[in-house]
Amino acid sequence: MIKYLPVYALLLIFVFYTSGKKQDKGVVIQNSGPKGGPYTHPTGERFGRGIFRTRVSNETDSPVELTINFPADSFPIPSSAGSYFKLFLPPDTMTLAKESLYDYGATGLLTFFDTSLHKSTRLQKTVNPKEEYLFYTALLMHVPDNGPVRTGIVLNDKDLFYKVSIGGQLDSALIPCGHIIYKK
């Protein structure tokens, strides 16, 4: 338990807030900093968890279809043997009113992790012109020690990637996770 304490402490006291903003062809993606804490799966496996908020704004004159898929697989952290992280799309609805709340106001997270640890998650949403869509992403980390965690959706033309950085452990991983289709 003690060897996982730094992970939990860093997630709980992490106050460095980053907000990435990327615009591509009239679609703007903004990513939040993490909120979170410890999580123990019913099997006894311990994780640090980070909950993030993403906002996709469609500033075009046409609808865009957003599709994101996170696999059931875990992603290894090469610099730390036996360490890995997993990505999820919690099903709860994110709103701006929840932004200041614990875990961005996401409810049912522990139950979601209990039942979804080995399942893929998917999001598909049409964002109408001049509208925005907010959603949650979550990361579970199985590492003995880590630094600041930063993540976010990155748009490159029509392809979406999930960027993960864990200070001192993982400089940056860019994981293909979906796409945006510009409808006419």
Write the CB contacts of 86 (distance below 8 Å, at least 6 apart in sequence).
73, 74, 75, 117, 139, 140
Query: Highest mean pLDDT range out of 14-18, 21-25, 116-120?
Result: 116-120
- Residue 24: its pLDDT value, please? 57
Which residues, including other chains, have CB under 8 Å from residue 116's CB and lie 6 or more apart? 88
Segment 94-150, tens digit of pLDDT: 999 999 989 999 999 999 999 999 999 999 999 999 999 999 999 999 986 666 788
Distance CA 37, CA 3 (A): 15
What's the pLDDT at 3?
46
pLDDT one-digit tens code per residue, 29-79: 999 999 999 999 999 999 999 999 999 999 999 999 999 999 999 999 888
Domain coordinates in residue numbering, the chain: 2-182
The answer for residues whose C-beta is within 8 angstroms of residue 104's C-beta and 6 or more apart is 32, 35, 51, 52, 53, 94, 98, 136
